[in-house]
Structure 1
């Protein structure tokens, strides 16, 4: 993706305001991390970019990004398919020849190569989320929308998946919605707190992503985010 993607405007759902006068630009090839209180409209922003916000009344302008890869908060795995077949569901639904070797490689990278033939009911919540991550990565698209993709993972696996995802999505335009200040400090090349009326830009730590979790400026950014989220301007 060579151009920025922008959303500028206001949204309501059944007449109830979700956000107003929002102006969000996703810079090409960069990770934008979006934080904010529950219900402020972060997931609505993702759905608008993905073209999946039928219930949302939006007034404003939005760049048409074309096809995007979206990982929602729920894993949305089909219960009658194996983990491998869930990873391959996108190309199969589009009538494309599925790249089984690539799908298996991704399952191996997320630590699930031995679970490829298991159905979702036989997987833990964290394993299901990793299958959903592999499915998203298989799409191989320039714009990737991630809605709390690591929230069901234990702390160590979460760090590992952050590092893997940052590596595999290098050079892509990524919007990451997260409630985790540490995650935003590690992965954000642009970090923004969303309130009902504005976006607050937070200076990012130095260095390439994923940044070390214990780097002093990462810890300082995490602390600032926690404070700002508790008492937004």
Structure 2
């Protein structure tokens, strides 16, 4: 699939380029990005170069992972953050002793809990100096519009809904999605969010086309 670029009121979303690697490396040294996201630790300049030169272009080519650099509309060389929509190609699994809560915090089960492969999810980060300005919600709104209404038909037919997951306590990530119509779902305990790391508790949410349209009708274009 050919990479897509588009502009919002303040932002330009474009594919990552090799020249972005130094800024990606610097941003991913941030303690909050390392704490709350799935970036490798320690994160090196080699990781950043591979991300910009290989991982991101390959995702577009394969049609399973679409990553955008978020930049100011008037200066596309400055990286504000990153946003990705991806089709998970593995099953994430919680282990024995896990339990699941519904959106109100009520336990609804225990034991092993799988979230199936094949679901489409969103992920993002913003660099420390650009937080608190609503950039991620603005960027995600544009990406969701593209996914649901403007993407090539073969992709639109695949993506019936979008998912979101974050470690419990990541309030900043949750604030990004709520204005866009995501519905909070289960809280899953003792969940393997990143292979090789210790189990954690995660929040989950989903967004349908109708939910997105309804949310935007309430909040305006």
TM-score, normalised to structure 1's length? 0.23
Relative to its length, the structure with more strand (as a share) is: 2
The answer to which structure, 1 or 2, has the higher relative contact order (CA under 8 A, 6+ apart) is: 1
TM-score, normalised to structure 2's length? 0.24
